[in-house]
Structure formats: C-alpha cells, structure tokens
Chains A and B, each alone.
Chain A
Amino acid sequence: MLSMKNISKVYQTEKVQTHALRDFTLEVSEGEFIAVTGPSGSGKTTFLNIAGMLESFTSGDFILDGVNVGQLNDNQRADLRNQKIGFIFQGFNLIPDLNLFENVEVPLRYRGIKSAERKRRIMECLEQVGLASRAKHLPQQLSGGQQQRVAIARALAGEPRFLLADEPTGNLDSLMARQVMELLEEINRNGSTIVMVTHDPELARRAPRNIQVVDGQIADFTLYQHGGASVPRKSNTVAAVNPMSVEV
C-alpha cells in the first residue's frame, strides 16, 4: 500500500544542511490505522509531507499504491494526491470564503467530477460527519470540532485510499478531540487506511499501530517498550539539538 525505503530529506540553506529524515523505512498495509508520534522537530511532519507528496525527498524509494512517487513531476503528484490522499490538518484549513458544501467540493472540482455526482458525494460525506444540515454555513460560524469534522468530510469526499491526519485534535478541547477520534476510527473500520501524526500519547495509544520518530528515523521499538513510558528516553536530549544541523 505505502512503502518507504531509506528515505532521506536534506534541507539545504545557504550555510546549513539539515537532515530532517535519515534512512526512513516504513511499510503500511491496506486498512491500517497508524499513529506517528515523536518530539517536536523529530521529522514527523516531514514524514507526513513526503507521504502526502507535498514535498519531494532527497533520496530513497517511495511506492504509493504501486506508483513510484520519486519519478513523478509536480502535476502528476498533484493528481495522485487528489485521487489517493485525503488530508486532515491541525488547523482545519477550511477556506474561509467558501461555505461547508463548497469547501468539501474543492478536491472534487480539481478532479473534474460532474456537478450532480459532486453534490451526491458531498452531501454523503457531510451526512457522515453529521453536518449535512449546515452545508450553507461558513466555517467561522462553526465550532472548532465541527470545523474539523468538515475537514474530515472534505478528506473523505474524494474517496481516498489514504487519510493523512496532522495533529487532527491539536486545536480542540478533549471532548471534541474524542469525537473526532471516534469519527476517524469509524472511517478506519469502513476500510480507509489512516496515518495520523500526533504528540498526544493517549490518542496514539488508541491506534492499533504506533510509530515513534526520533532524529529523523523510526526509533528503536525496544526503547519504547522497555522504557514503559510514552516518551522515549532519548528524546529529551535529542529534541534540544534537532533538527540535526551540520555546518557545511
């Protein structure tokens, strides 16, 4: 389904080389729900950017649903993103000028789906997140939890194979966070593969599979298990010097 092998990402600025990911290797199978955790700056956002094809990578192999992403150009990546991936952002990222219906419509428009079909799908997705009655409302008329549900509906509208969630509950209070989490679990039960980045250990524990990113690599799982804590021991020291910088 998703296969990353030895992925590296180096940010090159004038004087500094930053290794955001190093030899990152991960396999995700169909129908999985994976929580990615890790300290701030550990590279988990970079991982998500690459998994969502928002960013290119420096080296390694990345196969998404049988397609070798490394060989795609920007337009092909945009199309693939549009067809296979649904995004859920921490800040919801609804477009303030558009009402809920139109927000959900955005990815469908880019896919060139006919108006009647668009309408059917949008209403279906809004129904699923329980906001069909408010389709004509603007995002700012909604609470944060509702906005995130709209964002989820938008992610689902394109019937993607993959949902990528970036701290989906980060801006929500605990009650709303739980609702959103339950929604994601339901979506997962319906067959979608979900990769969720979070720093909330409680949330991460609810996911069937956990991955810890430290220093741009998947951390040694034994550490996690033996430490018995949700935060690996190593992270305290690493976090301070991350992202790893090397003077060139």
Chain B
Amino acid sequence: MFWHYIDLSWRSFKRTPMVTVLMVLAIAAGIGITMTSLSVYHMMAMDPMPHKSSQLFHPQLNARDDGDDWWTEDNLPHQMTYKDAMNLYRADIPRLKAPSMRTGFSVNLNSPDVKPFIESVRMTSRSFFSMFEFSFIHGAPWSQGQEESAAMVTVISRSMSETLFGQSDSVGENVYFDDNVFQIVGVYEDFDYHVKFYDLTNGAFNRAENAMIPITLIPPLKAQTWGNTNGWKFEEINSYQDMLNSEQAWLQFWVQLDTTEEEKEYREFLTNYLIEQESLGRFEREEVHFALRNLTQWMTYNRVVTEDNRILVSASFMFLTVCLANILGLLLGKFLRRVPEVGVRRALGANKRQVFLQHLVEVGLLGFIGGIIGIGIAQLGLWGVRATYSYYSAIATMDISMLLAAPAIAIGACVIAGIYPAWLVCRTNPAICLKTQ
C-alpha cells in the first residue's frame, strides 16, 4: 500500500504543480537555513572524544589574593602559571598529566631545497599523546629519559613529514626549528578533529600543531608563547627566568582521571597544593578556590558554541515554524479541495486510517523532496559561511548525521504540519458523494 500511496502522491503533485512547488520551496528554504546553522552548531557542540571526554580534566587554580577579579564568570583563570603547571606535572600522583603550551618556529632543513616556513609547535609532555589518542604511524613519542634531559627531539604530523621530506616516514631525520636542530623520533597521523579541544584558550577552531617538542625545553629555548598571557599583579619581569617565576598564566594543563575515586583524590590533592602554595606566601585567600572540569564541561565553559550561533539556530527554527504554518495553510487548501474524491474512496471501502495514511505519505514525500533540496541549499549556505569566515572551514560542513537529519527533520516537520489537514480529510463523510448531486 505504501508504494501505492507514493504513486498517488506523485500524481497529486503533478495535478497541482504550482502549489506543490511552493510547498517544496517553503520546506526546502526552511530546511536549508536551519541545517546551515544547525550543522555549524552540531560541529561546535559535538563531543570530540565521547569515550573519554568525561575522564580528561582541565584544572583551574585561583592563586591570587582575595578581591582580585578575573573577567571569567567564576573568577578563575583559564590558564596556569609555569610554576603551577610544572608543579602539578611533577607531583607524585600516578595519573597521566600533560602541561602544554603553544609556541612557534621558523621550520627549515638548513638547505636551499625547502623554503623556511612558520609553524606553530606545541611543547608538552609525552603523556599528552596517549591522553589525546594521537596515533603514531612511524616511531613513537619521545622517551621519559629524553624528556627529563630536555633532549632536542620532536614528533611531527604526517602532513608536516610529507611537506618536509616527501614521505610519511621521517623518523631519524633532522629538522631545524629556528636555528636549533631537532631529531624526529615519531610521526603521528594528522589530528583530524573539528575542534582543537586540547587548547580552547587560543582559538577552538584553529588548526592543530604539526610538531610537538618536550615541555622541558621551555627554559633552554626561552620559548615564547603563541597565545594569551594573563597576569593579575604588577611584577618586575626583566628576564626569562622572571617570567618563569612570575604569576603570569600562559600554559594549559590536563589530567586524566578514570574513576570518580581518582577525581575525588585529585580534588583533595589540588586543595592541599593550594594550601601549601599559600603558605609559601604567593597569595592571600580565605578559602582555596579551584575548578576541575572535564572535557565536555570545559567546552561549555569556554563557549565553544558561540552566542551568535545559538541565536541563529533558534531564529532558524522559528523560521522553520513559519515555513510549516505556510505549508499547513497550503495543505489545508489542497486537501480540502480533494474532499469529493475522498468521499468516493470512503464509499468504496477505504477506512479512515487508510485515507489518513495516504495523506501523511503525501506530505512525507513532500518533506523528503524538500529535505533533499534543502541539503543543497544548506551546502550553499555553508559554502557562504566558509567563504565569509575561513576560521570556520573545518566546522561549516555537514557530516553524515546532519545529511541524514535534514530529510528526517523535513519529513518530521511536514508530517506534523500534515496531521491536521490529513485528519480533516479522513473525517470526510462518505455520504457527500451522494448528496452533492
């Protein structure tokens, strides 16, 4: 019966092409606009590591005097000072921990073959790679020993390796970061996430770094951060060592806590750490103040989904409602004109359910066609988004779930709009086909 209803719907479309085109356009426009903003929203809001996002935590410490305010909602800084990050990293607590910081160098091979280019480089610990599940295609992360001795070693991404050496396997080769020679010990698969979730502080949709070096190289290289630095009090900073000792926050810090037990334990640890730091005279506070947010909470806290996008998503759903009201009106007109035919069908033995289904199939088909055209419109819209704002290049796309959602939303919306008109016609009294004569 379903295919028969599809056949009937198709005939009905052909019979009133103008109204059909109008309704399809209305739903296509509604879906196109809604899917454009919803796709961006979906990409922004998607949990990048669903299996692990509740185990990765980003601690925030309030190591300031009472009465000194940050601009953040809970008065906590997003980043950490060098000494806090390194203290937490070296603390004797057996969990995976990763301090990290974005810097950058002019990358070259000290030969005329490859023109030097600028790349951002992340300085971090070797645990970073297992915490964020980097997959190594050649070699491995640097060893604990290399990290402790601040060895000049690096791991690079596949695309960086291909750019520099024309092949993915470059383990053992040397690369120059500025004037420093680094030995490549590993090559990892490109970090292919839409959100650079391990460093939301310096642009959630920035490209991931293509090279990583040990965090212990910060002092010898006098590495400059390629990100925000926030301070809260006046300090004389006249040397790099002053900077490392200062209260300026410029590092990110992650810790992996697999169970609630571990989380509780870590909270106690942080409390004790802050009490100890206060006793060293770094700051004066009535109460210790810190936060321990997991990845999903951290993304919400950092407003990865922008305010503009939220506004657009709600506006486009209201827009969709207008399209639906519109379609509902047109369907009413279309279906009610068909009452005589329905009367005959009822007289010939169609029951209400069959008539109702026939009309729902028709609006469903309408929604399906509108949804498919809507995907086209949404692609156009997303192209416009990417053209206007290249920063959104990676997120202004439709993934498979959005491609499926478009016709699903369209069909769902049309069926909702069609229920009332379909109900009206299915109530047609079959006697009318006798009376009207």
List chain A positions with a Cβ less than 8 A from chain B. 45, 48-49, 52, 54-55, 74-75, 78-79, 81-83, 87, 89-91, 93, 95-98, 106-107, 109-112, 154, 158, 166-167, 170-171
User: B interface, how many residues as a size bin?
Assistant: 20 to 34
Contact A54 B1 (CB under 8 A): no
Least Cβ distance of B431 to chain A in Å?
A: 4
With contact pairs A91-B436, A97-B12, A170-B437 given, residues A54 and B349 touching in the complex (Cβ less than 8 Å): no
Residues of B within 8 A of A167 (CB): 437
Contact A82 B429 (CB under 8 A): no
With contact pairs A54-B430, A55-B429, A106-B345 given, residues A90 and B351 touching in the complex (Cβ less than 8 Å): no
Contact A89 B437 (CB under 8 A): yes
Least Cβ distance of A14 to chain B in Å?
A: 18
Least Cβ distance of B377 to chain A in Å?
A: 30
B347 at the interface (CB under 8 A from A): yes
Contact B349 A48 (CB under 8 A): no
Residues of B within 8 A of A89 (CB): 344, 347, 433-434, 437
The answer for the CA separation of A194 and B400 in the assembled complex, in Å, is 61
Residues of B within 8 A of A48 (CB): 434
Give the contacting residue for B349; candidates A49, A82, A166, A170; CB below 8 A.
A82
B354 at the interface (CB under 8 A from A): yes
Residue of A nearest to B343 (CB): A93
Residues of A within 8 A of B436 (CB): 91
The 10 closest A-B pairs by CB, nearest first: A82-B349, A78-B351, A54-B431, A107-B348, A54-B430, A49-B431, A93-B344, A90-B437, A75-B351, A110-B349
Residues of A within 8 A of B430 (CB): 54, 81
Contact B350 A55 (CB under 8 A): no
B341 at the interface (CB under 8 A from A): yes
Contact A81 B11 (CB under 8 A): no
Contact A75 B347 (CB under 8 A): no
* Additional pairs, 5, CB under 8 Å, beyond known A45-B435, A91-B437: A45-B434, A55-B431, A74-B352, A75-B352, A89-B433
Least Cβ distance of B180 to chain A in Å?
A: 79
Least Cβ distance of B33 to chain A in Å?
A: 34
Residue of A nearest to B341 (CB): A95
Contact B350 A110 (CB under 8 A): yes
The answer for the CA separation of A87 and B1 in the assembled complex, in Å, is 23
B233 at the interface (CB under 8 A from A): no
Contact B351 A166 (CB under 8 A): no
The answer for the CA separation of A112 and B351 in the assembled complex, in Å, is 12
B346 at the interface (CB under 8 A from A): yes
Contact B349 A78 (CB under 8 A): yes
With contact pairs A49-B431, A89-B434, A110-B354 given, residues A95 and B344 touching in the complex (Cβ less than 8 Å): yes
With contact pairs A45-B435, A90-B437 given, residues A78 and B344 touching in the complex (Cβ less than 8 Å): no
B51 at the interface (CB under 8 A from A): no
Interface centre among A93, A98, A171 (most CB of B within 10 A): A93
Give the contacting residue for A54; candidates B15, B352, B434, B437; CB below 8 A.
B434
Contact B434 A106 (CB under 8 A): no
With contact pairs A54-B429, A106-B345 given, residues A166 and B350 touching in the complex (Cβ less than 8 Å): no
Contact B349 A81 (CB under 8 A): yes
The answer for the CA separation of A81 and B348 in the assembled complex, in Å, is 7
Residue of B nearest to A78 (CB): B351
The answer for the CA separation of A91 and B433 in the assembled complex, in Å, is 8
Least Cβ distance of B425 to chain A in Å?
A: 14
Residues of B within 8 A of A111 (CB): 349
Contact B351 A106 (CB under 8 A): no
CB interface residues, B 300-354, toward A, < 8 Å: 340-341, 343-354
The answer for the CA separation of A171 and B346 in the assembled complex, in Å, is 22
The answer for the CA separation of A154 and B344 in the assembled complex, in Å, is 11
The answer for the CA separation of A86 and B223 in the assembled complex, in Å, is 92
B4 at the interface (CB under 8 A from A): yes
Contact B354 A166 (CB under 8 A): no
The answer for the CA separation of A78 and B350 in the assembled complex, in Å, is 6
Residue of B nearest to A87 (CB): B347
Contact B11 A109 (CB under 8 A): no
Contact A78 B437 (CB under 8 A): no
The answer for the CA separation of A111 and B343 in the assembled complex, in Å, is 17
Residues of A within 8 A of B341 (CB): 95-96
Contact B435 A78 (CB under 8 A): no
With contact pairs A93-B340, A93-B344, A95-B341 given, residues A107 and B433 touching in the complex (Cβ less than 8 Å): no
Contact A49 B434 (CB under 8 A): yes
With contact pairs A54-B429, A89-B437, A95-B341 given, residues A79 and B352 touching in the complex (Cβ less than 8 Å): no
Residues of B within 8 A of A45 (CB): 434-435
Residue of B nearest to A85 (CB): B349
The answer for the CA separation of A170 and B347 in the assembled complex, in Å, is 19
19 contacts between A and B (CB under 8 A): A45-B435, A49-B435, A75-B351, A75-B353, A78-B346, A78-B352, A79-B351, A81-B430, A82-B348, A83-B349, A89-B433, A93-B433, A97-B11, A106-B344, A110-B345, A110-B350, A158-B349, A166-B434, A167-B437
Least Cβ distance of B17 to chain A in Å?
A: 13
Residue of B nearest to A158 (CB): B349
The answer for the CA separation of A75 and B356 in the assembled complex, in Å, is 13
Residues of A within 8 A of B352 (CB): 74-75, 78
